[in-house]
A and B are shown apart, each in its own frame.
Chain A
């Protein structure tokens, strides 16, 4: 046995390992861990010494294994201590998480745009086209083709804004229906949404410009029952799945029969309240079976095809559904109003 071998043999390596494990358990800081590492694994440690002195292969492998094991113990302890230290540090960085976030400017769709899109999407889903149509129209498309003769009341400049001669600002979106029918063969399924103009004095429920949605379906075999079903679908999509729709006879030159459609009040469910003026029902708009004269005017054969049409005001839908008290608010563009929706 050489001196070197004696040095190696002088150490009880199992005890060495036990002592290390025992000390490792007591370690609470990275500094202590470093001391422990220097003591058991450092250059001057008995293990390092022995590894330098060892001469036989078997012992060498054993000691190497021991060194790897102790190093692994140090590393894992260091990992734990570092994680704990980071955790402590982070806890000190505590934030008032209830403070507001960084401000990101938010834009906003006008309420009427939101409703316009809702209506468009409902009818796109039913297979309808959306048609924009012109706002400046001629009297043929606005009146004559829609079966409103020269003596019709609405044609009077008391109701309609004229540009010159028979050029007018449309009082409803229906002339676009005429134009579509003039240009295409049936079937036609379309809604037309946009601005319309009437000679109305401004007050909480009137503005000379407002937005209408008008729908038209012309096809073989269209019935009044189809109109009822379509408006029921619309009313439920806009005002809730529990709504009912009822129809009452009315008169419009371009439909025959003509009807006013009402929806059961979404607020009181029909019991009567302020919104529905105690009647339980809210008027939605006019509707009816397309008058045969209108079909003839666009070159359709009323014996071949039939149709229905309806019209609603977007402002009215918005005011009812959201409780907007004054129509003028839609045009004032006060951000406090716009941002509510």
Chain B
């Protein structure tokens, strides 16, 4: 919302520094995004160099066919010679002149110059050069010829300061200069001017046939009829205001509708009455397939959900959003039907979203405009149309459903103080609310003004009104907590531990997208309307995304690539929601051994003994994949990525579920361990992990430690066999194990392994 200060001052008399004004609006009303200066820079006496001038003489430049050489009286006694490129004026015209030294709106400084041999002591200005409009075809000729030398700023809005506000969606009343003025008046305790606009005398009482078939969508429709309308350009003040407010001047009638919308917040529309079939207005839902060519030249197909303004035959506007070419006000228009209506927000929002058509009008309607505003808007527009187009106002109709009564809410001032954490006396609260247009009874029954009726419906909303004017006064405190202490859950603590372990092991943490182009799981959840094909599926595994991240690092020629990620996967079925599981995955240079080493370290940190067995995973090397209780470790399938990459993915829930809550002391010091090396010859297909698992089961807890330190293949063990050497430690917490005890344990192991795997104990020390 652009708020030109000259416009704002029309409604509230203000005399505060700009910075203070902006700061207080920012805190209590709406974010001030920017402060923009429009037009001629208003500093260092620059405005004094802009004067009204009378052309005393005008003729062709002696050396240039396309230039005029003028003598212009700017009130200095002697006229000035000025060279000009435009021909739309002649001697006697009053024009806008900038004198040498003047800084133009575009920042350029005007210098005295020689043009084709003739001195030019100034510049005759077009409205575009003054940023008063887009017209650059000719020079701005001042109507009513002010005296030569009159400061131009006295007759034209040469410069303005514009506040650019980012208003919140609950405050459509702020999409109006008058609405902002109301807030400013309340903030600074200044009087607010009464509603602008008053009806001129009506010159007739013609009937206007208006039928509202959908009073829910259109609770109010004011139509006003004007004849003898002279469509033409608006006066400079109006054009300047529209430009300052970010709108394009079009013609006096259209400009008035835009001006009133910006002034009061009620969008208006003007129809060329003679183009309406039967001169009739019907507010109804569109018929399926009905088409309309909107003012932007686009043909649009409507359906029954869209509210339209129609004449006896066809839609002539999409209600609240945009008019149609078939009823547009143009130069030849002589009769105007002015619409000052009220539309319900939801239908407007839906239609505007569906058609992808957002306008200044739809932007206001979709937030909910006060239905009582229509009459104020109609009045101001009527006054201006009559004044600016010379039209006669001949008829009026106001079709309305029963308009909602303003809500009345009980406020407890002590509750406001308590909730804000700031003592605000009841009188102060009453004063704030009253200044904002609320009526506050003795007992604090608060009547909400109609323009806030949608937003303020509860006591909490009134408390906000009290609070937002005092945000800076509220102190900084901390809650007086009861019964609460801050602590991570076991899962959260372990997740941090996993992060720490992996970082300690040399892996860098990656973040990859949960939405992937495809997933190995055929039932993975697909988004019905994804952002793009690359972000279509909720992943069930982290490894593919992590592989992509690794690949990017390979391409960037980064060294020591080792990445991990802790994130969720989303497992089908979604009934109704998928299972979200935390996973940890890693990929690192150096193949299976590195990855398994990391996984083992991770288990050791968590005080877990992993069990590895041969496994399969679509993403991993078929010969180098192991399964654990919590997931997989292996080598990345070479088809996925060149080179030898270790990879793992573990489910943290499965992992953490087995982490002991408490570790009990075991005596590993009092009685010494008996250490032995055992080598077993086994058939090639027997895997070490199976031997270890079987050995543990056979020997029981007195087998404290078992590790593999060598695998040997060769003549001594024979074809198709291998020798696996273990280093074992036997220990009891209760006594010193004798050689005989150790021998017995060793024998148990040997027997079991012989029985189950045909293992032959080759040596034992």
Asked if B291 lies at the interface with its beta carbon under 8 angstroms from chain A, I say: no
CB-contacts of B490-532 with A (<8 A): 492, 496, 499, 502-515, 525, 527-531
Interface residue stretch chosen among B93-101, B415-423, B734-742, B756-764: B415-423
Main SS class of interface, A: mixed
Tell me, in angstroms, the Cα distance from A184 to B568 when the chains sit together: 25
Interface centre among B461, B489, B509, B549 (most CB of A within 10 A): B509
Contact status B510-A110, CB under 8 Å? yes
Q: Could you mark each residue 222-263 of chain A with 1 if its beta carbon is under 8 Å from any beta carbon of chain B, else 0? A: 111110111011000000000001111111000011111000
Please name all residues of chain A whose beta carbon is closer than 8 Å to the beta carbon of B511 when the two chains form the complex.
Answer: 110, 112, 330-331, 333
Contact status B531-A208, CB under 8 Å? yes
Q: Shortest beta-carbon distance, A194 to chain B, in Å?
A: 9
Interface residue stretch chosen among A32-40, A46-54, A61-69, A123-131: A123-131
Contact status B30-A289, CB under 8 Å? no
Contact status B486-A129, CB under 8 Å? yes
Partner of B503, one of A109, A251, A333: A109
Q: Shortest beta-carbon distance, A206 to chain B, in Å?
A: 11
Contact status A113-B509, CB under 8 Å? yes
Tell me, in angstroms, the Cα distance from A136 to B488 when the chains sit together: 23
Query: Known: A226-B477, A228-B476, A246-B472. Contact between A289 and B552, CB under 8 A?
Result: no
Please name all residues of chain A whose beta carbon is closer than 8 Å to the beta carbon of B432 when the two chains form the complex.
Answer: none
Partner of A129, one of B169, B422, B487, B512: B487
Please name all residues of chain A whose beta carbon is closer than 8 Å to the beta carbon of B475 when the two chains form the complex.
Answer: 225, 228-229
Tell me, in angstroms, the Cα distance from A123 to B476 when the chains sit together: 17
Contact status A248-B27, CB under 8 Å? yes
Contact status A124-B169, CB under 8 Å? no
Please name all residues of chain A whose beta carbon is closer than 8 Å to the beta carbon of B486 when the two chains form the complex.
Answer: 123-130, 189
Interface residue stretch chosen among A15-23, A73-81, A156-164, A268-276: A156-164
Query: Known: A165-B576, A224-B421. Contact between A257 and B468, CB under 8 A?
Result: yes
Contact status A195-B514, CB under 8 Å? yes
Asked if B617 lies at the interface with its beta carbon under 8 angstroms from chain A, I say: no
Chain B interfacial residues counted at CB < 8 A: 86
Tell me, in angstroms, the Cα distance from A336 to B552 when the chains sit together: 11
Please name all residues of chain B whose beta carbon is closer than 8 Å to the beta carbon of A158 when the two chains form the complex.
Answer: 353
Contact status A107-B502, CB under 8 Å? yes
Partner of A187, one of B31, B349, B481, B531: B481
Asked if B474 lies at the interface with its beta carbon under 8 angstroms from chain A, I say: yes
Query: Known: A162-B528, A333-B510. Contact between A292 and B460, CB under 8 A?
Result: yes
CB-contacts of B341-370 with A (<8 A): 345-346, 349, 353
Q: Could you mark each residue 127-158 of chain A with 1 if its beta carbon is under 8 Å from any beta carbon of chain B, else 0? A: 11110101111100000000000010100111
Contact status B482-A219, CB under 8 Å? yes
CB-nearest residue of chain B to A110: B509
Contact status B418-A221, CB under 8 Å? yes
Contact status A107-B556, CB under 8 Å? no
Asked if A172 lies at the interface with its beta carbon under 8 angstroms from chain B, I say: no
Main SS class of interface, B: loop
Tell me, in angstroms, the Cα distance from A139 to B418 when the chains sit together: 33
Contact status B168-A251, CB under 8 Å? yes
Tell me, in angstroms, the Cα distance from A247 to B512 when the chains sit together: 35
Q: Could you mark each residue 326-341 of chain A with 1 if its beta carbon is under 8 Å from any beta carbon of chain B, else 0? A: 0000111111101100
Interface residue stretch chosen among B106-114, B138-146, B557-565: B557-565
Q: Shortest beta-carbon distance, B316 to chain A, in Å?
A: 27
Query: Known: A208-B535, A246-B27, A249-B27. Contact between A338 and B510, CB under 8 A?
Result: yes
Tell me, in angstroms, the Cα distance from A221 to B499 when the chains sit together: 39
Asked if A167 lies at the interface with its beta carbon under 8 angstroms from chain B, I say: yes
Asked if B578 lies at the interface with its beta carbon under 8 angstroms from chain A, I say: yes
Contact status B27-A247, CB under 8 Å? yes
Asked if A267 lies at the interface with its beta carbon under 8 angstroms from chain B, I say: no
Asked if A43 lies at the interface with its beta carbon under 8 angstroms from chain B, I say: no
Contact status B562-A248, CB under 8 Å? no
Contact status B471-A107, CB under 8 Å? no
Tell me, in angstroms, the Cα distance from A136 to B571 when the chains sit together: 11
Asked if B618 lies at the interface with its beta carbon under 8 angstroms from chain A, I say: no
Contact status B514-A135, CB under 8 Å? yes
Interface contacts beyond A107-B505, A138-B576, A333-B553: sample of 11 additional A-B pairs, CB < 8 Å, sorted by A: A126-B481, A134-B577, A134-B580, A136-B577, A167-B574, A167-B577, A209-B513, A225-B420, A229-B475, A333-B508, A333-B549
- List B residues at the A interface (Cβ < 8 Å): 26-31, 168-171, 345-346, 349, 353, 418-422, 458, 460-461, 463-464, 467-468, 471-472, 474-489, 492, 496, 499, 502-515, 525, 527-531, 535, 538, 549, 552-553, 556, 558, 560-563, 567-568, 570, 574, 576-578, 580
Residue contacts A-B, CB under 8 angstroms, 20 given: A107-B504, A107-B507, A109-B503, A127-B481, A128-B486, A136-B577, A136-B578, A138-B576, A153-B349, A161-B530, A163-B527, A189-B481, A189-B484, A195-B567, A228-B477, A229-B475, A249-B30, A251-B171, A257-B463, A335-B508
7 nearest A-B pairs in the assembled complex, by CB-CB distance: A225-B421, A223-B421, A105-B506, A251-B168, A107-B503, A257-B464, A124-B486
